[in-house]
Amino acid sequence: MAKIIILGSSNAIADKDHENAHMVIVGKTRKVLVDSPRNPIFRLKDVGVNFNDITDLVLTHFHPDHASGIPLLLMDMWLRGRENPLNIYGLDHALTRLENLMDAFAWDMWPNFFSVTFNRIPSQKYSPLLSCMDFDIYASEVCHMIPTIGLRVEFKESGKVAAYSCDTEPCNEVLRLAHGVDALIHEASGDFLGHSSSKQAAECATKAEAKKLYLIHYPTGEFWNENLLEDARKHFNGEVELTEDFMELEF
């Protein structure tokens, strides 16, 4: 069964029970990691995904709570003997900065390093990102403080569809990505620059005619918003849930 596993659900300020938002899309032939705020190898192990089976990494944007773990992830994969190639996808803004970061670590001097291919996504609407026998993934640039992509995942065997807003203000591109989806995974940091509140996430789900809304990238720990779910449920008639770390969404 294809699924999306939530590896972290918090906004930029994580707590002991909620890692920064990232996830893995699991199919029979491809396993796609979406962002890497810290080294996710042990979280992947906890949900039954071997790090060697990760075929692809999507970097949604180059903010620390989404990208800072990638150098450690790549080094750890190498030190653990990975030989399988890895594809990394993102906008030029993100990948250029990641390449510069890796150059700062002199990764070209790491001997017998596995193959890493950087795939730049065009900054255009509804751009094909990845296609395989399990699913098709599309990306669109959303409205954040720096260039950022949201995702649409179309699962081929079941015909179900999921969308991920990533970090964004309400915008038409999220509505396009989320149109008619079975599950919209939408951020709920709050109503401020580059982000959305749970109310705005719910309004997006309603406009997109999504069947179910999952809130992610929300305030946790001391910053928890008690009205998060209540505000969303007032503006969306479908089912609303908070994502939690290690939650599995089956498609």
Domains in the chain: boundaries: 3-250
The Cα angle at residue 78 between residues 74 and 84, in degrees rounded to 5: 90
What is the crossing angle of helices 92-104 and 70-79, to 10°?
60
Q: Which residues contact 111 (CB under 8 A, 6 or more apart)?
A: none
**Nearest CA to 25 among 123, 222, 163?**
163
Q: Which structure tokens are listed for 66?
A: 């989404």
- What is the average per-residue pLDDT within 35-52? 95
Distance CA 95, CA 88 (A): 8
Contact 251, 158 (CB under 8 A): yes
Average pLDDT, the chain: 97
Q: Look up the pTM and report it.
A: 0.97
Is residue 208 predicted with pLDDT exceeding 90? yes
Is residue 155 predicted with pLDDT exceeding 90? yes
Phi, psi angle pair for 130, to nearest 5°: -155, 140
Domain covering 3-250 in this structure, CATH number: 3.60.15.10
Which pLDDT tens digit goes with each residue over 46-56?
999 999 999 99
Dihedral over Cα of 66, 157, 182, 4: its sign: negative
